[in-house]
């Protein structure tokens, strides 16, 4: 009988990855890094090199890797079974915690990824309003669904509200139901919304778009405008949920949307995300309430998975302790200020933008209020900076420093030393 087992042929781990994955990786980070383990604010690669980690698994690990409370909760659940497709008490408890914390949330549904969550927010808005179009902002990231991949990172400038698809394979018809507006430009958004008021179901926005803070009044203006035009306001809080505050960006900025998408932190490092909003909207997930024509079926093999739920519960319990957010913000503030000082003392044309739990260095000057302004900054210099940080034992994403509760003052000190070396070496 033929041996069906394919051999590794003694290849290195990177070679094995290159053989099996297109572009050699998962499509996330550059495929030249293999992580073996993580603990607190650090990760170690397969060669044993340790890094201070500001990737945080792209954000979920806000309390740090392998937090003992999260690990204990997960270990306990593992021996009780790992997925049931049915209600389980842990998922109900996590949902109760989310609803108690997030201002717009009266009800929710669990899904497995942020991309799925944003897809449902938009579909729900269409079902509720009976209208088709979604207004999103240029440069806004809402995951990998077809609607989200409209002008997420356009390589050329189109006139607003023309969307440009970010991926091959998206039907042209999707573009016909998406309008694009410039972030932080309330006047243009208002004009577009008023011109299309009879067709627009929702405005979807990252309240803090990538690294760009909303200008004072922008989110408040969107809230007023959408309410007066009969359009729903969706906050994509996949990044900001339970990160900017226990109430998310809604609490941080004091603006409450009609519904939101949550992900990352709420799954404690496991695949879990959610759509949350008001009861009257969520009736559309209940065929008995809305009848067949208004009904949105919503089914997912791993929805409300108990392992992810207990990890989420343990994570939220850690974050709800007094002082947790103060600590995360203080760590972020010290890093941001320290990096600013280094940039100034080296006379580099660069700045630190963002908020203490999530920021980055951008190599450009002036006010960076929208996608086009940030896209005009020097991305290749940023790439070199990231690479040099990595050689100096600091790991960050391409465009982000995610700060965790587990980062220590020694981590901060060592990071600033690495930033100093890296900036001087550019």
Ligand X SMILES: Cc1ncc(COP(=O)(O)O)c(C=O)c1O
| Residues at the interface with ligand X (CB under 6 A) | 58, 113-115, 118, 141-143, 206, 236, 238-239, 263, 273
The two tokens of residue 385 are 């900076």
- Residue 348 CB contacts under 8 Å (≥ 6 apart), including other chains: 363, 423, 426
- Closest separation between CB of residue 62 and ligand X, Å? 14
Tell me whether residue 236 is one of the annotated catalytic residues.
yes
- Closest separation between CB of residue 219 and ligand X, Å? 15
Closer CB to ligand X, residue 256 or residue 419? 256
- Closest separation between CB of residue 359 and ligand X, Å? 15
- Closest separation between CB of residue 142 and ligand X, Å? 5
Helix/strand/coil (H, E, C) string of the chain?
Answer: CCCCCCCCCCCCHHHHHHHHCHHHCCCCCCCCCCEEEEEECEEEECCCCEEEECCHHHCCCCCCECCHHHHHHHHHHHCCCCCCCCCCHHHHHHHHHHHHHCCCCCEEEEECCHHHHHHHHHHHHHHHHCCCEEEEECCCCCCCCCCCCECCCCCCCCCCCCCCECCCCCCHHHHCCEEEECCCCHHHHHHHHHHCCCCEEEEEECCCECCECCCCCHHHHHHHHHHHHCCEEEEEECCCCCCCCCCHHHHHHCCCCCEEEECHHHHCCCCCEEEEECHHHHHHHCHHHHHHHHCCCCCCCCCCCHHHHHHHHHHHHHHCCCCHHHHHHHHHHHHHHHHHHHHHHHCCCCEEEEECCEEEEECCCCCCCCHHHHHCCCHHHHHHHHHHHHHCCEECECCEEECCCCCCHHHHHHHHHHHHHHHHHC
Closer CB to ligand X, residue 265 or residue 423? 265
Contact of 316 with 94, CB cutoff 8 Å: yes
Closer CB to ligand X, residue 42 or residue 400? 400
Closer CB to ligand X, residue 77 or residue 240? 240
Closer CB to ligand X, residue 120 or residue 141? 141
- CA trace torsion 244, 213, 195, 171 (10° rounding): -70
Strand 42-45: give its sheet, edge to edge.
35-39, 42-45, 50-53, 394-395
Closer CB to ligand X, residue 273 or residue 405? 273
- 53, 185, 236, 258: the catalytic one is 236
- Closest separation between CB of residue 22 and ligand X, Å? 18
- Closest separation between CB of residue 11 and ligand X, Å? 29
- 51, 53, 133, 141: the catalytic one is 141
- Closest separation between CB of residue 47 and ligand X, Å? 27
**Cα-to-chain-centroid distance, residue 20:** 27
- 133, 264, 396, 400: the catalytic one is 264
Closer CB to ligand X, residue 237 or residue 283? 237
Closer CB to ligand X, residue 250 or residue 422? 250
Q: Closest residue to ligand X, Cβ-based?
A: 114
Contact of 112 with 302, CB cutoff 8 Å: yes
| Catalytic annotation, residues | 141, 236, 264
């Amino acid at each position: 009988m033929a041996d069906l087992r394919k051999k590794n042929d003694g290849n290195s781990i990177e070679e094995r990855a290159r053989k099996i994955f297109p572009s050699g990786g998962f499509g996330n980070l550059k495929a030249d890094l293999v992580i073996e383990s993580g603990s607190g604010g650090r990760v170690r690669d397969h060669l044993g090199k340790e890094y201070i980690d500001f990737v945080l698994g792209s954000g979920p690990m806000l309390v740090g890797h392998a937090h003992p409370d999260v690990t204990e909760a997960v270990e306990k659940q593992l021996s009780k079974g790992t997925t049931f497709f049915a209600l389980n008490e842990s998922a109900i408890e996590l949902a109760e915690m989310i609803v108690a914390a997030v201002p717009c949330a009266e009800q929710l549904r669990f899904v497995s990824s942020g991309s799925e969550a944003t897809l449902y927010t938009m579909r729900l808005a269409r079902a509720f309003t009976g209208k088709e179009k979604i207004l999103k902002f240029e440069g806004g990231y809402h995951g990998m669904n077809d609607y989200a991949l409209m002008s997420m990172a356009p390589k050329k400038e189109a006139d607003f509200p023309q969307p440009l698809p970010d991926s091959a394979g998206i039907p042209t018809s999707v573009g016909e139901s998406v309008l694009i507006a410039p972030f932080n430009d309330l006047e243009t958004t208002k004009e577009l919304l008023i011109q299309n008021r009879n067709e627009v179901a929702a405005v979807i926005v990252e309240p803090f778009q990538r690294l760009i803070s909303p200008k004072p009044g922008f989110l408040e203006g969107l809230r007023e405008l959408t309410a007066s035009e009969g359009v729903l306001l969706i906050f994509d809080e996949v990044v900001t949920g339970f990160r900017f505050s226990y109430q998310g960006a809604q609490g941080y900025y004091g603006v409450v949307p009609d519904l939101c998408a949550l992900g990352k932190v709420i799954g404690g490092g496991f695949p879990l995300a959610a759509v949350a909003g008001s009861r009257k909207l969520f009736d559309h997930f209940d065929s008995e309430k809305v009848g067949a024509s208004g009904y949105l079926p919503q089914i997912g093999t791993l929805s409300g998975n108990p392992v992810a739920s207990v990890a989420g519960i343990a994570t939220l319990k850690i974050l709800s302790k007094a002082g947790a957010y103060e600590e995360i913000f203080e760590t972020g503030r010290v890093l941001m200020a320290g990096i600013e000082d280094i940039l100034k003392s080296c006379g580099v044309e660069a700045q630190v933008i963002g908020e203490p739990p999530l920021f980055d260095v951008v190599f450009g000057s002036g006010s960076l209020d929208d996608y086009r302004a940030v896209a005009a900054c020097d991305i290749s210099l940023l790439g070199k900076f990231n690479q040099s940080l990595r050689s100096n034992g600091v790991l960050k994403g391409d465009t982000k420093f995610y700060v965790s509760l587990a980062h220590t003052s020694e981590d901060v000190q060592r990071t600033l030393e690495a930033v100093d070396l890296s900036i001087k070496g550019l």
